Amino acid sequence: MQQETLFDSHAHLCHPKIWDHLDAIVQRADQSGVKGILCAGYDLPSSERSLQAASRRSGVWAAVGFSPHDVSDLSESDWVTLESLLQQPKVVAVGETGLDYHYMRSPAKRQQDALRRHIRLAHKHGKPIILHLRESEDDLFSILDEEGIPEAGGVLHCFTGTPETAELAVEKGLMVSFSGILTFSKSDEIVEALKRVPMERLLIETDCPYLAPVPYRGKNCEPSMLPAVAEKVSEILGVPLVEVAERVCLNARRFLSIT
C-alpha cells in the first residue's frame, strides 16, 4: 500500500517512556510517513522537554500547559515560567489543559481555574488551545462560552465523548481529534461521533505513549502507529486513505499556523 504523509496532532514525546528513545521513535515516525508531530506538555517539566524536542527537530512542534491531572499545587512561578515558554518560536499551542472528572486527580475548582488561565494565555499570545475533556462537558463548554474560544481556535483532543458532544464542539468552531480508540472493539459511540465531524474539522493523533491502536495493543504507543488510525478513519467514513491523509495534514498545519 502506498505510504501517505500524516501529522500526529497530539503526542507526548516528552513522556519518560518516550524521552530516552526519542531519536529512534522520531525516525520510525518519519519512516512510517508521519512527517509532523505536535509534542504536548502536561506539566512544567514535560512542557520544557516538549520545547527541547521541537527545537532540535524540523518536523516537531511543541504545546505547553498543565493537564487537569497536574494543577493541584501550581505556583505563580509555574505560570510565569509557562508564559515564558509560550513565547518561544516553536511553541505553537497552549495545552494540554481541560477538565477530567473521571479520575479527579485535581479538585474540580482547581481544574476550572487552571482552564480559565490557559484560555486567557491563548487569547493573549494568539495561539490555539488543546483541550482534554472527560465527563465534564457542561462545565468545559460553559467556561469556553464565558472566556471565549481563542481566535486561533481549539481542539478536543483524543475524543471520547458522545456524538452529541462532537456536534456541539463543531457548532462552537472547535476541531475534534481522534486517536487509536477508534480501533478498539467497544468504540461504537466514538465511531458515530467521528461520522458527525466534518472533514475540515478533523484531526488524528496517537496520544502516545497511551492508547496504542490495533494491531499494536499492549505496546507503548508512538507516532509511527498513526497510519493505523488514519486507515480506520478511512474505513469508517468511506473516504480514500489518501484524502484522509491530505485533509488531516492540511487541517493540522492550518490549525497550528505552521508551514
Grouping H, G, I as helix, E, B as strand and the rest as coil, residue 219 is coil
Q: Which letter does DSSP use for residue 2 in this model?
A: P
Closest CA to 5 of 253, 259, 245, 248: 245
Closest CA to 234 of 174, 178, 167: 178
State the burial class of residue 188 (Cβ atoms within 10 Å of its Cβ: 0-12, 13-18, 19+): exposed
The per-residue pLDDT for range 20-42, each reduced to its tens digit, is 999 999 999 999 999 999 999 99
d(CA 86, CA 122): 9
What pLDDT is recorded for position 2? 57
- Class of the domain covering 6-256: alpha beta
Boundaries of every domain in the chain: 6-256
d(CA 202, CA 213): 18
In sequence order, what E strands does 181-259 have?
Answer: 202-204
d(CA 244, CA 240): 7
For residues 145 and 115, is the Cβ–Cβ distance under 8 A? no
Residues contacting 186, CB < 8 A, separation 6+ = none
The CA dihedral of 209, 115, 203, 104, to the nearest 10 degrees, is 40
CA neighbours closer than 13 Å in the CB half-sphere of residue 189:
8
Instruction: Work out the pLDDT band at 1, boundaries 50, 70, 90.
Output: very low
Which set of grid coordinates corresponds to residue 104?
479527579
When the pLDDT of each residue in the chain is averaged and rounded to a whole number, the result is 97
Q: Is this structure's pTM higher than 0.75?
A: yes
The CA dihedral of 159, 160, 163, 165, to the nearest 10 degrees, is -70
Phi, psi of 9 (to 5 degrees): -85, 0
Instruction: Work out the pLDDT band at 259, boundaries 50, 70, 90.
Output: confident
Neighbours of 162 (CB within 10 A): 15
What pLDDT is recorded for position 191? 98
Which set of grid coordinates corresponds to residue 246?
491530505
Q: How many helices (H) and strands (E) does the chain have?
A: 10, 8
The per-residue pLDDT for range 143-174, each reduced to its tens digit, is 999 999 999 999 999 999 999 999 999 999 99
Residues contacting 145, CB < 8 A, separation 6+ = none
> Radius of gyration of the chain from Cα atoms?
17
